[in-house]
């Protein structure tokens, strides 16, 4: 699917050039909007408690193309969907995931915090939601869903890439609809060595003005199909440089419609958002 997307991105770029030359700029802009991957960041996490099955389902219903899953690993080796190394922020528990068994994780309430923090989006059905395992996510959404899975803190969870791949294979997940992402180049290299057919995205964090060199792009192209930079520090030149290299570019985490439009105009090929409904509206020209 990603290869097809790449081909379509190139086609969209060609249409854009032809469109501009022929005075058809409006039509080309519409083509660009259609092809943008809408990644539900931690599910539709602006609307529901992040990394719960409810949030992931809502992401699908709001036209997210991909379900984004962050992975942590329990003391007894189970991959669970959670952003932080500690359970404190998104459950009623306290401590590091690595010190919890799966049974202990399953006793936590992963929904009530959201109602307290975001009363405008609160819903009684969120109370008592469980932290899902990756296995439960695959069971619920099936082998044909599109997953965008991040290996979080791989340095403290040796073997997490192997366990991820084991589950991908056990549940016969369609690898054309799978993307594995990480800030850790080492983790992506491990995935690449385990199975070079898995498409990888190198996440990049910036704390100041963002630049990417030709050497960095060439190095990333050795193992990955795209990059995921923090959108805050991007500019058009950066985006164009990446796109022209043939890499995908999926910035995180974009929750504002005007910024979504700007990034699309600059040429990004997708983006992470807590509000897939908003990106869907932008793609529809609303």
Residue 83 a catalytic site member: yes
Q: Quick check: 66 binds ligand G3P (CB under 6 A)?
A: no
Total number of residues that touch ligand G3P (CB under 6 A): 10
Contact pick of 114, 126, 252, 266 for ligand G3P (by CB under 6 A): 252
Tokens, residue 14: 């060609």
50 binds, among ligand G3P, Ca ion, none (CB under 5 to 8 A by kind): none
Which entry of Ca ion, ligand G3P, none binds 228, CB below 5 to 8 A by partner kind?
A: ligand G3P
Interacting residue with ligand G3P among 74, 151, 153, 181 (CB under 6 A): 181
Tokens of 185: 């180049």
Give yes or no for residue 272 binding ligand G3P (CB under 6 A).
yes
Cβ of 247: how many Cβ atoms within 10 Å? Answer: 20
Catalytic-role residue among 41, 51, 231, 250: 41
- Quick one: what does residue 277 bind among ligand G3P, Ca ion, none, with the CB cut-off 5 to 8 Å set by partner type? none
CA–CA gap between residue 44 and residue 42 (Å, rounded):
7
Q: How far is the CB of 229 from ligand G3P (least distance, A)?
A: 10
Q: Scanning residues 99 to 138, which ones bind ligand G3P (CB under 6 A)?
A: none
d(CA 279, CA 264): 10
Please provide residue 144's backbone torsions phi and psi, each rounded to the nearest 5 degrees: -100, 0
Q: Name which position in 70, 161, 248, 277 contacts Ca ion (CB under 5 A).
A: 70
Q: Which of 47, 51, 78, 83 is catalytic?
A: 83
What does DSSP say about strands 79-81 and 66-73: parallel, antiparallel, or unpaired? Answer: antiparallel
Helices (H), 134-275: 134-141, 160-170, 185-194, 214-221, 236-245, 257-266
Please state, in angstroms and rounded to a whole number, the distance separating the CA atoms of residues 39 and 256. 14
Residue from 111, 228, 229, 270 in contact with ligand G3P (CB under 6 A): 228
* Alpha-carbon span 38 to 198, nearest angstrom: 20
Please, which residue, 121 or 183, has the CB nearer to Ca ion?
A: 183
**What SS3 class is residue 96?**
strand
The verdict on whether 192 is a catalytic residue reads no
* Tokens standing for residue 78: 């189970």
Of 285, 279, 286, the residue nearest 44 (C-alpha): 279
The least CB distance from residue 211 to ligand G3P, in Å, is 19
9 binds, among ligand G3P, Ca ion, none (CB under 5 to 8 A by kind): none
Minimum distance of Ca ion from residue 37's CB (angstroms): 14
Return the residue of 60, 65, 70, 277 that touches ligand G3P, per CB under 6 A.
Answer: 70
3-state secondary structure 254-284: CCCHHHHHHHHHHCCCEEEECCHHHHHHHHC
Establish if 50 lies at the interface with ligand G3P (CB under 6 A).
Answer: no
Residues that are catalytic: 41, 83
Q: Residue numbers of the site for Ca ion (CB under 5 A)?
A: 70, 150
Q: Residue numbers of the site for ligand G3P (CB under 6 A)?
A: 41, 70, 83, 150, 181, 203, 228, 252-253, 272
């Amino acid at each position: 699917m990603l290869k097809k997307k790449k081909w379509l991105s190139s086609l969209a770029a060609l249409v854009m050039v032809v469109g501009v030359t022929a005075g058809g700029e409006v039509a080309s802009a519409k083509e660009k909007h259609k092809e943008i991957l809408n990644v539900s960041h931690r599910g539709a996490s602006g609307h529901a408690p992040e990394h719960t099955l409810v949030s992931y389902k809502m992401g699908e219903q709001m036209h997210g193309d991909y379900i984004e899953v962050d992975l942590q690993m329990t003391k007894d080796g189970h991959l669970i969907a959670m952003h932080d190394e500690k359970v404190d922020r998104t459950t009623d528990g306290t401590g590091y995931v690595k010190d919890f068994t799966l049974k202990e994780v399953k006793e936590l309430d992963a929904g009530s915090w959201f109602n307290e923090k975001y009363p405008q989006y609160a819903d009684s059905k969120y109370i008592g939601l469980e932290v899902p395992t990756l296995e439960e996510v695959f069971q619920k959404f099936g082998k044909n869903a599109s997953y965008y899975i991040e290996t979080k803190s791989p340095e403290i969870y040796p073997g997490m890439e192997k366990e991820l791949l084991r589950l991908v294979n056990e549940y016969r997940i369609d690898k054309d609809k799978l993307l594995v992402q990480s800030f850790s180049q080492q983790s992506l290299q491990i995935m690449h060595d385990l199975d070079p057919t898995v498409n990888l995205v190198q996440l990049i964090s910036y704390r100041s003005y963002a630049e990417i060199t030709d050497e960095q792009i060439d190095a990333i192209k050795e193992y990955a199909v795209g990059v995921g930079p923090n959108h805050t520090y991007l500019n058009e030149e950066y985006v164009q440089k990446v796109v022209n290299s043939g890499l995908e570019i999926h910035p995180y985490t974009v929750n504002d419609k005007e910024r979504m439009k700007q990034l699309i105009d600059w040429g990004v090929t997708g983006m992470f958002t807590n509000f897939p409904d908003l990106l869907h509206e932008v793609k529809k020209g609303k």
